[in-house]
Amino acid sequence: MVFSCSVSNAQINQDNNFYIGVGTGISTYLGGYFGQAYAMKVLFDYNDDYYYNNYNYSYNNTTIWSPIQFDITAGFKLSDHLSAEFTSTFLFSFDGLVDPQFVTGSNGNRDYIDRNGYSSLYSVPVSAALKFHAADEYGSGFFFKAGPAFQYTSEEYDRIREYYSYGKYGSSYSSFYYLYTVSKSEWLPGFTVSTGISFPLSDYTTSYTELAYSYFKINGNNETALALDRAIEAQLFSLNTKVFFSF
């Protein structure tokens, strides 16, 4: 779910056809492996402590808010009921829950377990859509927007090795070592659709609430634990509230 605030030209102003704005908000990916890894996290405390193949595995991390989002929107009014609108969203997702892919072993007298961790995602959904809107004499009305979309997606995670040492009374001590980073970047094709309602706030400001859905197709190779390799799609669901100011 996304909530975002933007600054732009008021669409009900007959003398100003071009509008542009920036804003910020929150978002979530839904469904499948991609949604599992990068769904919205609020005050999220990932704390696991259990045994895997007789090796103790513990991982502690706290996420206050993810993803972090910034928006840029620009449009041009083609007629009283039709606009062309271009939107770009910048998303930074942290602490993704990718498959850890545990591997255990020994190195000399030390036991270890390797895993995937510290997954992160940077994505930029970009769309160009036609916006059909109705308006009453006060500028209020419903709208519908649809068009093609693309998402630049850059994802990575670290491969971590955890060595274990054991004390006299069964206590264990661990140390962590970075092994390497797995990363991938690509553009994903898709589409976006949304609907909502607009309200005039004054002669120079208008707000609207928008329910939006974006779909992006993924052609992975299943070679790594990256969502870009494991998932078949990325679905972004949003609920936007935007405010436009006329110039």
Q: Do the domain assignments include residue 128?
A: yes
Q: Is residue 48 part of a domain?
A: yes
Rg for the chain, CA atoms, rounded: 23
Does a structural domain hold residue 89? Answer: yes
The single-letter code of the amino acid at 202 is S
From the CB of residue 194, how many other CB atoms can be counted at a distance below 10 Å? 22
* Ramachandran category for residue 53: left, alpha or beta (phi over 0 → left; psi -120 to 50 → alpha): left
**Eight-state DSSP code of residue 36:** H
Q: Is 143 part of a structural domain of the chain?
A: yes
- Candidate from 102-106, 133-137, 175-179, 238-242 with smallest mean pLDDT: 133-137
Binning pLDDT at 50, 70 and 90, where does residue 167 land? Answer: low
Does position 140 have pLDDT exceeding 80, yes or no? no
Total structural domains within the chain:
1
Q: Report pLDDT digits (tens) over 185-217.
A: 999 999 999 999 888 777 777 788 888 999 999
Res 153 pLDDT > 50: yes
In-domain check, residue 247: no
CATH number of the domain encompassing residue 151: 2.40.160
The whole domain housing 146 covers 4-103+123-155+186-219
What pLDDT, on the 0 to 100 scale, is given for residue 9? 36
| pLDDT tens digits, one per residue of 24-68 | 778 999 999 999 999 988 876 665 544 444 444 555 567 777 898
Q: What average pLDDT does the chain have?
A: 82
CB 92 within 8 A of CB 71: no
Asked if residues 195 and 143 have their Cβ atoms less than 8 Å apart, the reply is: yes
Residue 122's alpha-carbon distances to 29, 69, 70, 77, 237, in angstroms, are: 13, 10, 12, 31, 17
For residue 232, is it within any domain?
no
Q: What angle do CA 139, 196, 125 make, to 5 degrees?
A: 120
Residue whose structure tokens are 């669409």? 11
Q: Give the whole-angstrom CA distance, residue 10 versus residue 7.
A: 9
Tell whether 95 is covered by a domain. Answer: yes
Burial degree of 30 (CB within 10 A; 0-12, 13-18, 19+): middle
Write down the pLDDT at residue 163.
Answer: 86
Structure token digits, residue 160: 């971590």
Condensed to tens digits (0 to 9), the pLDDT of residues 75-94 reads 888 888 898 999 999 999 98
AA identity, residue 65: W
Residue 69 has pLDDT above 70, yes or no: yes
Structural domain contains residue 75: yes
